[in-house]
Amino acid sequence: MPAAQPAYRWIPGHGPDPAALRRLRESAPLPRKPMGEAWFMGGERLMYTGLLQPDPQSWSKRELENALEALTSGPRCFDHSDEWSEWFDYLLPRVLERTDDQHSFELLVTAVFVHCLDPVLPGRTPQFRRDLLDTLGRRLMAPSCWNPAQADGLLRPIASGFYKINPGGAISAACCLVLRYLDAALIDGWIESVLAIDDASWRCAFVVWLAGAAVVVHDGAQPESMGNPPHLEIGWNGHWLLDGSIPSRNLDRDAPQFAFFGPTQRQALLASLKRRLDLATLLRWGEALTGMSIAECDRATTLWQYDDAVLIVLERYDLA
């Protein structure tokens, strides 16, 4: 019998695991050839030669983001390429080692969804799945996200805009990553840890995320076509590229399509929420909004945003 996997939890201050990062880095050596752009016209293709430098801190931010966009959008529009796959494996741990990785986090998560299209991860070792979750999946728990003196801007549960609660961006990308690839048996422990994070803005953002994610969890929508109203918007950088197929089904109607969340993960999520979340808790969390630093002119809209999310979560997740 295979050994049981250790529990998977989100705990503020416990960011990417260094040992897991090291394993991902050691399993993906530098490709022999530079990666090139996905979209070009004419005979000369731009190559991202700067990424051949061994120190990730020396990479140009613009060149790195252009490369991530290419290896993320390329397979969807032009089908699989070994070049993009090799560079995805190489860049994954090294981007997380950069001091400014928050600028690439959402797109890096999207790249995972593209290059690991089948949630079962055929051809990948079980260790890869766990290392992925213990590194990229735990980036939001890094100390810099939770210490106001260090805040690196990645985690923004309360943001600017008409609706102040922000469940999209990095929060949505991270939640979707874990729910898609975490073993179903470990989801209850993960949800328990998520709900235990004692931060009012985080809790409200997670409730609004649940409301926005209902179309994916219950209705089988893909991230590219969630169609949520603005106050339940849970998109992140690159989510519009994800229709569950490679190449896009807009290009090949016969391309096999994978559900974004597997049935066992969905069932485990629903069972866990039903066990751990109820109306009294949701109302108590909503009361904490009154203590947040929200301008008075925005307070009524923000309270309405949360209250509407609560009604949706109660109905769609069948909570008492």
DSSP readout, 73-110? HHHHHH---HHHHHHHHHHHHHHHTSTTGGGTHHHHHH
Q: What's the pLDDT at 37?
A: 87
Q: Are residues 126 and 177 in the same domain?
A: no
Report residue 55 as tokens: 């120190």
Report whether 248 contacts 77 (CB < 8 A): yes
**Residues with pLDDT less than 50, the chain:** 1
Cα(56)–Cα(46) distance, integer angstroms: 20
* Single residue among 132, 153, 174 that ends a domain in this structure: 153
Report whether 269 contacts 186 (CB < 8 A): no
Report residue 224 as tokens: 């590219």
The pTM of this model reads 0.94
Q: Are residues 94 and 183 in the same domain?
A: no
Chain centroid, CA 260 distance in Å: 12
Residue 47 is classified by DSSP as: B
Q: Are residues 295 and 169 in the same domain?
A: yes
Where in the sequence is the domain holding 100, given as residue range(s)?
Answer: 13-39+47-153
Q: Are residues 27 and 126 in the same domain?
A: yes
Q: What's the pLDDT at 147?
A: 84
The answer to the question of residue 2 being in a domain is no
The answer to the question of residue 6 being in a domain is no
* Single residue among 153, 183, 202 that ends a domain in this structure: 153
Report whether 84 contacts 55 (CB < 8 A): no
Q: What's the pLDDT at 76?
A: 86
Q: Are residues 29 and 136 in the same domain?
A: yes
Q: Are residues 207 and 186 in the same domain?
A: yes
Q: What's the pLDDT at 148?
A: 77
Q: Are residues 319 and 176 in the same domain?
A: yes
* Single residue among 130, 153, 176 that ends a domain in this structure: 153
Q: Are residues 138 and 31 in the same domain?
A: yes
Q: Are residues 144 and 160 in the same domain?
A: no
The answer to the question of residue 252 being in a domain is yes
Report residue 88 as tokens: 């995805």
Number of helices followed by number of strands (H, E) in the chain? 12, 0
Q: What's the pLDDT at 162?
A: 81
Q: What's the pLDDT at 119?
A: 92
